[in-house]
Amino acid sequence: MVDPQIPELKVTPPTLTIIQCLRSLRSGEHAWQVLPGTGLDERKLRAVQLVDAMAHLFGFDPTRLLGACGDFYCRDDLRRIVSLSDRGAESPMETVMRLMAKDMFGDFFTSQLVISQDGSVSDPVHTGERVGRGIVARVDLGCEELKLVLQYDGSGHLERSRRDSDSKVSTELANLGWHELRLTYGHLKDRDLFYSTVAGGIALCRSRQGR
């Protein structure tokens, strides 16, 4: 392909570019540090993080990669990566949290659920539905059935302004009957702690509903 704005610059289509990046990760040419505990090996985890990031940043459907890979990437491996990817992950650590939750509890949580002041819940990322006014929170992972939320708090959440905002969200969610678990890097690097924390949250929400 040729960039019409800069003809001398050769470019590749976005999907093919991602396939080439995945090849680089699979070969080990490029890598970054990742946490254990997701049930995936390091290279597969990096691949899912990459697809998550590209899908979120550019808004494309990861399943499009399957039709674009040709002979450039093993179709079975790519199908597995795509099945684990999610356009709702806004950071590599959110990908880790989602994959850990999926590995331990199955398809229990949905990414980027939107909870509104009237108590309604919507899923704009996966359904395309429009979100109205009065949004209380767009949560990292949520289970509408149990009213349980998982939020990943990275170092940026330590800033005063962010802490004030987080506190406001937490109290508003609580007033709507939601139980929010704010998890940190310490939870993600300790699989046992992550499991006990989330399992405890699930048990509490079920007990509230008389289950």
pLDDT in tens, 120-136: 999 999 998 888 789 99
195, 165 contact by CB (below 8 A): no
| β-pairing verdict for 179-183 and 135-143 | unpaired
pLDDT tens for 24-43 read 999 999 999 999 999 999 99
Lookup: tokens for 128: 């395309």
Burial class (CB in 10 A: 0-12, 13-18, 19+), 47: buried
Considering the domain 103-208, what is its CATH architecture?
A: 3-Layer(aba) Sandwich (3.40)
In this structure, the number of other CB atoms found within 10 A of the CB of residue 37 comes to 20
pLDDT tens for 82-103 read 999 999 999 999 999 999 999 9
Q: Where are the domains of the chain?
A: 14-85, 103-208
180, 166 contact by CB (below 8 A): no
| Mean pLDDT for the chain overall | 92
Determine the Cα–Cα distance for residues 86 and 96; give it in Å rounded to an integer: 11
Q: Count the alpha carbons within 13 Å of 79 in the hemisphere toward its beta carbon.
A: 4
State the pTM of this model.
0.90
